[in-house]
Amino acid sequence: MSEKQVDVLLVGAGVMSATLAAMLTELDPNLSISIVERLPTVAGESSDGWNNAGTGHAGYCELNYTPQNKDGSIPIDRALSINAAFETSLQFWAYLVEQNILKAKSFINATPHLSFVWGQENVEFLKKRHTNLVQHPLFQDMEYSENFETLKQWMPLIMNGRDHHPAAATRVPYGTDVDFGALTRGLIIHLQSKKNIELALSHGVSKLKQDKRGIWNVKVRDLDSKKSKTIKAKFVFLGAGGGALPLLQKSGIPESKGYGGFPVSGLWLVCKNPEIIKQHNAKVYGKAAIGAPPMSVPHLDTRIIDGEPALLFGPYAGFTTKFLKKGSFLDLVKSFKMNNLKSMAFASLRNMGLTRYLIGEVFQSPESRIKSLQQYFPNAKTEDWHLAQAGQRVQIIKKCHKKGGKLEFGTEIVTAKDGSIAALLGASPGASTSVQAMTDVISLCFSDRIQTLEWKSKMRTMVPSYGKSLIDDPELLKEVRTRTLRTLQLNQETS
Ligand SMILES: Cc1cc2nc3c(=O)[nH]c(=O)nc-3n(C[C@H](O)[C@H](O)[C@H](O)COP(=O)(O)OP(=O)(O)OC[C@H]3O[C@@H](n4cnc5c(N)ncnc54)[C@H](O)[C@@H]3O)c2cc1C
């Protein structure tokens, strides 16, 4: 078995590893970096355009980021922090475009973000949500309307064939559709031109162990030749998507104890009929059905994937025991460990309703799926739509002192105390906040180097708002947003 040594080993070639590698190599071009991917392609799991919704999550249209309290109030803090995190991504992507590393339209397109509701109670909720959000500079351009003609102009497919009952929508013109697969592949092509960076496709990580010197010995198997080798790395990032939890468990670090995973699958309805596609230019998010998890909020989206336009509706969430789309049905069973039994058991008991809902979704008939679509697009015809499988999400289960265990819908970075290994768990808001998440990994795991003037100033070149708050500094926000909208060509209505 051969051996090699690197500074950084990234497991998985999805958007997270690609972003971390791109940032680290800008910070220190001398770092030796290995990326190991079990599939024969880059971005073959969640990051591929067909496997996710491609929404640049900014809190503009996702009503689940501003749930209403029992007293009727609508807090906006979560929407503010997600919006600010997305602005961080936009800044880094604008930097990459300015450096000619990526081309704007190849991975990101302006696509207005709308929230659409009907029924008096929902209309009142949306109006109040708008009133709260629009007062903050991050959301100052959000429009609101109950006027049928305006709504028809914003989203003709959705309004044609609908009666005039109370309905309302909000709209932000510079919402985005992001092809995270194209972004990842663009980053990897750029990284492959660097002499210190190596990519091994069809190579799976099976084991990892830290030696006495703190170096990680990572067993990597060539899935074609079936030969194994050990890569020694000072720092390991488990950017393996649904595969991150099993690897984190194998690392044996104390911080991994108690974590478990709850897999959720998904389906889209896809339309490729050009006559229909040209009548819709938006991402229109509605309200989740009662009992539905936050990731199954229905939305009708304009998508551009690998340069090709399409309309996607969904996702219809479902239940499976796989942690990766190309994973094994044994993934869930194998993830049960002595140290997470309690959290898994308590979280499962508390979420029986969710499991029942997801299993029910799996057995939905094609007619009932079309009926859900027709709530948004009343004139939709079955023959224009086909089903496609979305990517796999693994929601986080973790210890909870009060409840024994809890299920979470966010993203979390788990790091060892010595900063030698980090794992990214969970899937929401996901790829949109990849730059913020990877900046956090750098701060936690390269804590000495990030204090140096050299790294700090390079971070500010890549992300000008680094270390400052876009939520509290309207002048900085204005400066940053003007640049990102221009560079990424997102201001379609004013350009
Ligand atoms: C249905 C759905 C809709 C979504 N919608 C959105 C959205 O609208 N907006 C948004 O921002 N995010 C969205 N997300 C989330 C987003 O897709 C993910 O957060 C993001 O792609 C995760 O990137 P990643 O690099 O961590 O993982 P992935 O892209 O899954 O990459 C992980 C890679 O690791 C590899 N791997 C796994 N195990 C091993 C191993 N042992 N050895 C080597 N390689 C391994 C896998 O093959 C894979 O290629 C959605 C996700 C899903 C499933």
Which tokens belong to 230?
Answer: 């050990």
pLDDT at residue number 495? 41
pLDDT for res 406: 84
At 494 the pLDDT is: 45
> Phi and psi for 345 in degrees, rounded to 5?
-65, -45
Mean pLDDT of all residues in 328-345: 89
Residue 109 gets the label, from left (phi > 0), alpha (psi -120 to 50) or beta, of beta
User: Phi and psi (nearest 5°) for 281?
Assistant: -135, 75
- The CB-based long-range contact list for 69-73 (8 Å cut-off, 24+ gap) reads 72/128
Integer Cα distance of 56 and 15 in angstroms = 13
**Protein residue with its CA nearest to atom 26 in ligand 1:** 241
pLDDT tier for residue 365 given thresholds of 50, 70 and 90: confident
Domain-embedded: residue 150: no
**Is the predicted pLDDT of residue 24 greater than 80, yes or no?**
yes
Contact 300, 284 (CB under 8 A): yes
Distance, CA of 388 to CA of 434 (rounded, Å): 25
269 pLDDT band, cuts 50/70/90, is: very high
Q: Examine residue 219 and state whether it is found in any structural domain, yes or no.
A: no
- Is there a domain that residue 336 lies in? yes
Percent of the chain with pLDDT over 90: 81
Task: Tell me the pLDDT tens digit for each residue of 46-57.
Answer: 999 999 999 999
Q: What is the mean pLDDT of residues 92-120?
A: 97
pLDDT at residue 399 in the model: 86
Residues 198 and 35 sit within 8 Å (Cβ to Cβ): yes
Residue with token string 């007293």: 71
* Letter string b/e over residues 98-109, b meaning 16 or more CB atoms within 10 A of that residue's CB: eeebbebebbbb
- Show the CA angle centred on residue 278, arms to residues 275 and 284, nearest 5°: 120
For residue 209, how far is its CA from the centre of ligand 1 (angstroms)? 24
DSSP 431: G
- Which ligand 1 atom sits closest to the C-alpha of 431? 11
71 CA to centre of ligand 1 in angstroms: 37
Spacing, Cα 47 to ligand 1 middle (Å): 5
- Average pLDDT of the residues of the chain: 93
Ligand 1, residues at Cβ distance < 6 Å: 11-17, 36-39, 43-47, 51-55, 57, 180, 204-205, 239-241, 243, 247, 266, 315, 324, 390-393, 424, 427, 429-432
Nearest to 466 by CA among 440, 427, 431, 495: 440
Q: Whose C-alpha lies nearest to ligand 1, atom 19?
A: 430
Contact 173, 112 (CB under 8 A): yes
Q: How many whole angstroms from its chain centre is CA 74?
A: 24
Best of 11, 34, 41, 52 for a ligand 1 pocket test (most atoms within 8 Å of beta carbon): 52
- Measured by CA distance, the residue closest to atom 52 of ligand 1 is 52
Domain membership flag for residue 350:
yes
Q: How far is it, in rounded angstroms, from Cα 115 to Cα 98?
A: 32
In the predicted structure, residue 150 carries a pLDDT above the cut 60: yes
Ligand 1 atom closest to residue 241's alpha carbon, by position in its atom list: 27
Closest by Cα among 394, 368, 131 to 248: 394
Range of the domain at 266: 260-411
pLDDT > 70? residue 346: yes
Q: What is the distance between the alpha carbons of residues 15 and 445, in angstroms, rounded to a whole number? A: 19
Instruction: With respect to residue 370, please indicate whether it lies within any of the assigned structural domains.
Output: yes
Task: Taking the CA atoms of 235, 445, 324 and 101 in sequence, report the sign of the dihedral they define.
Answer: negative
Query: Across residues 143-169, what is the average pLDDT?
Result: 95
What's the 456 CA to ligand 1 centre distance in angstroms?
29
Atom 20 (ligand 1): residue with closest C-alpha?
A: 431
- Taking the whole predicted model, whether its pTM rises above 0.75 is answered as yes
- Choosing from 20, 47, 57 the residue with most ligand 1 atoms within 8 A of its CB, the one to mutate for a pocket test is 47
Task: Inform me whether the pLDDT recorded for 318 exceeds 60.
Answer: yes
Is residue 305 assigned to a domain? yes
Taking the centre of ligand 1 as the mean of its atom positions, its distance from the CA of residue 465, in whole angstroms, is: 26
Whether 451 is covered by a domain: the verdict is: no
Q: Grade residue 283 by pLDDT with cuts at 50, 70 and 90.
A: very high
Nearest CA to ligand 1 atom 2: 52
Positive or negative torsion for Cα 117, 149, 281, 482: negative
- Structure confidence by residue, pLDDT tens digits, 375-417: 999 999 999 999 999 999 998 888 887 778 888 888 899 999 9
Choosing from 20, 45, 46, 299 the residue with most ligand 1 atoms within 8 A of its CB, the one to mutate for a pocket test is: 46
Position 343 confidence tier, pLDDT thresholds 50, 70, 90: confident
Structural domains in the chain (count): 1
Question: Which has the minimum average pLDDT: 236-245, 361-370, 371-380?
Answer: 361-370
Q: Whose CA is nearest to atom 21 of ligand 1?
A: 47
User: CB of 319 within 8 A of CB of 358?
Assistant: yes
Q: Please, are residues 434 and 19 in contact by the beta-carbon 8 Å criterion?
A: yes
19 neighbors 435 (Cβ within 8 angstroms): yes
Query: Average of pLDDT values for 237-262?
Result: 95
| pLDDT at site 316 | 87
Burial of 153 from C-beta contacts in 10 A (0-12 / 13-18 / 19+): exposed
State yes or no: pLDDT of 476 exceeds 90. Answer: yes
Lowest mean pLDDT among 155-164, 181-190, 452-461: 155-164
